[in-house]
Amino acid sequence: MFLFRRGTGRLTPDQARSRTDDGTAVLLDVRETPEWKAGHAPGAVHLPLTRLLAGAALPPDAQGRPVVAVCRSGHRSQQAAKLLASRGVDAVDVTGGMNAWAKAGLPVVDERGQGGRIA
């Protein structure tokens, strides 16, 4: 049973947090490493879109699970969700990306687990 429409669904930040906090899906941050280090959602796994486009496999924590892709503004994550769907992954993305996530008051941490910022 698929929880999302493959590669075509978009979730609000609150919906994404709900589906990832309860273990239904994994949050996959597709921003580049400096962006990730500056600030990301707690519990997210990281795989830059550039590596995904080059054929990289999903991180072990995301394999075999529904994926909610997120980037800074929603463009790269939408591209990632479509690519993952073409590979058979149950994937959607977060509308507005991490900018919308932070604006919704959801937590953001840096590479040390401290208060992060969206870069």
- Is residue 57 annotated as part of the catalytic site, yes or no? no
Contact 85, 6 (CB under 8 A): yes
Residues of 88-119 as b/e, b for ≥16 C-beta within 10 angstroms? Answer: ebbbbbbbbbbebbbeeeeebeeeeeeebebe
Catalytic residue among 11, 28, 58, 71: 71
Residues annotated as part of the active site: 71
